[in-house]
Amino acid sequence: MAENATLKAALREETGKGAARRMRREGKIPAVVYGRGEETRPLTLDAHDFEMLVKEHSLDTTLVELEIEGGGKKKSDTVRTLVVEVQSHPYKPEVLHVDFQQIHAGERVTVEVPVRLVGTPEGVREGGVLQHVMHVIELVCAVESIPESFEIDVSGLTIGDSIHVAELEVPEGIDVLPDPKRTICTVAAPTILELPEEEEEELEPELIGEEGEELEEGEEPSAEAEEGAEAEAEDEEE
């Protein structure tokens, strides 16, 4: 079943880009929590606390108990949530904003559950290549029934074997959304690249006739050409 984690948060009064930038400079992350029949509440998270949550848990399948600290007339309370969106900086290791969805007991939600392949296929030992095609499975289930992951034993796969969505062992009450015929993983045969053979070019001597003209094979140079060649040879010797 799904993991459980706890995270502290605080209600915030200020909103907008300017306020969000100030919070990030102070080591905070702007966030929001909303849910069916619930008011949307802007929050502030501690950046280090959220970083530890990301390192220790899979956000896709973790139920986060959000301990919200009140302010002014607003009371503190704890709500059960799922992380539905994390906005990150395009090139810095910085989280810009987090969305939480408040959920209730028995509520059905749509989540993506990771697929983990276990073992080394026989086909890989024979030179094949294991191709992991689907890394997550989208499904609908009650919050209490969210699987932590789907573990698939691939050790018995040989070259050419595949595992499809229809072969997953899915607990009762869980609806899997992808097409049952979709491939999760397969063991492909190795690709052998054949390099083209280099054609050996036969080098044939060129016969030069008068005034540098090339002669056809079997044709002899004229007497004038021979005399010219002899004269050039004598000049070189001198």
Say how far apart CA 172 and CA 18 lie, in whole Å: 48
Say how far apart CA 87 and CA 102 lie, in whole Å: 18
User: Residue 73: pLDDT above 70?
Assistant: no
pLDDT tens column, 23-69: 888 899 999 999 988 889 999 999 999 999 999 998 888 999 999 98
Say how far apart CA 130 and CA 187 lie, in whole Å: 4
Which of 60-64, 117-121, 207-211 bottoms out in mean pLDDT, i.e. has the lowest?
Answer: 207-211
| pTM of the full structure | 0.69
SS3 label, residue 21: helix
Q: Residues 6 or more apart from 208 whose CB is under 8 A from it?
A: 214, 215, 221, 225
User: What pLDDT sits at residue 129?
Assistant: 95
Query: Superfamily assignment of 109-188 in CATH?
Result: Ribosomal protein L25, C-terminal domain (2.170.120.20)
- The pLDDT-based confidence of 149 (bands split at 50, 70, 90) is very high
Q: Pick left, alpha or beta for residue 131 (phi over 0 → left; psi -120 to 50 → alpha; otherwise beta).
A: beta
User: What pLDDT sits at residue 6?
Assistant: 95
Contact by Cβ (8 Å): 225, 209: yes
User: What pLDDT sits at residue 14?
Assistant: 76
Q: Residues 6 or more apart from 223 whose CB is under 8 A from it?
A: none
User: What pLDDT sits at residue 196?
Assistant: 73
Query: Superfamily assignment of 3-104 in CATH?
Result: Ribosomal Protein L25; Chain P (2.40.240.10)
Strands 108-118 and 150-153, bridge-based pairing: parallel
Q: Does 207 or 142 have the greater pLDDT score?
A: 142
Q: Where in the chain is the domain with CATH 2.170.120.20?
A: 109-188
- The pLDDT-based confidence of 204 (bands split at 50, 70, 90) is low
SS3 label, residue 39: strand
Say how far apart CA 80 and CA 15 lie, in whole Å: 23
Say how far apart CA 26 and CA 47 lie, in whole Å: 9
pLDDT tens column, 186-202: 999 988 777 776 654 55
- The pLDDT-based confidence of 207 (bands split at 50, 70, 90) is low
Query: Which token pair is 54?
Result: 């990301």
Which of 2-16, 69-83, 167-181 bottoms out in mean pLDDT, i.e. has the lowest?
Answer: 69-83
Q: 113 has which bridge partners?
A: 137
* Average pLDDT of the residues of the chain: 84
Q: Where in the chain is the domain with CATH 2.40.240.10?
A: 3-104
